[in-house]
Amino acid sequence: MTASGKVVSGVRTFAADVTEGFLEITHSSFALIGLTVAFIAIALTARPDLRQAGEERLMNWLQARQVAVLGMPIEPEASERATAGNPKDLPKEQAAVAFWLSKKYRVAPEPLSVLVAEAYELGARNRLDPTLILAIMAIESNFNPFAQSAVGAQGLMQVMTTVHTEKYQNFGGHFAAFDPVTNLRVGVKVLQECIARAGSLEGGLRYYVGAANLPDDGGYTAKVLAEHFRLRQVAGGRAMPTNPPPTLSTQAPVQSVPASAKLPASASPASGGSDKVALLSQPS
């Protein structure tokens, strides 16, 4: 064999040896990886806590990477905190009311659809016309869930949170006053107490605004009843104009008593026991 042939043969042998060695190493590495994966799978199956911890770390790492890329927190559950729904899913009457209120008060129909549905449910449960409840919300806050009056009445229904603290206990505390649905439920409870104490709707509204012992309620009752009438027409399928909304109720006439006053247990509508709905204690 010539010298050049020997060189070629040697190169071929070297290449064959390298290839064989690479395959053996690769095969061993794959086998090692396979064994490692199998061992991890068995361990995770036997220890669910380890699997859960690993999944949490991986998810946290992925979310951290995504936050770094987007420059803002990632909260997939954020939509669950929103008070919103599709108004088209409501019954025809409720949808008509929601869209009319949305147009008149310039608020989104999606959160209004939730409030309308809740008002109808609460109305049926408490034997109150749901459009009356919505009319009070309209006059009190213009559907601003963060509204607060000069005397501290808060939220959609403008209830004095500091006085009706016990009513919020089942909802996690007084901060729930700014949750629209919770404020609506508490406000309806207070309204029910006012009507029961006064013995009439008109008298109950005077209690609600804090004018039970005053000669004049500043036109509050008339405003509520007028808006109630319009909403009843809308609910009945009649077209009603969407005039500019009334000004935000002060929830207390200028002549009202201080916010620290309380209704005596012996008070009656005739004698005028309270100048503020939020000052109403539990009915005796």
pLDDT in single tens digits along all 284 residues of the chain: 665 555 556 556 655 655 565 445 555 555 556 656 666 666 556 667 766 776 777 667 666 666 666 666 665 666 667 788 899 999 999 999 999 999 999 999 999 999 999 999 999 999 999 999 999 999 999 999 999 998 889 999 998 888 888 888 888 888 888 999 999 999 999 999 999 999 999 999 999 988 888 888 999 999 999 999 999 999 999 989 887 655 544 444 433 333 233 333 333 333 333 334 434 433 33
What 3-state class would DSSP assign to 104? helix
List the one residue out of 138, 172, 151, 123 whose CA is nearest residue 277: 151
CA distances from 116 to 92, 161, 165, 244, 280 (A): 12, 22, 25, 20, 26
Nearest-angstrom CA–CA distance, 152 and 157: 12
Most distant CA pair in the chain, distance: 130
Nearest-angstrom CA–CA distance, 81 and 200: 37
- pTM of the predicted model as reported, rounded to 2 decimal places: 0.64
The CATH code for residues 87-279 is 1.10.530
Distance between first and last Cα of the chain? 121
Per-domain boundaries in the chain: 3-74, 87-279
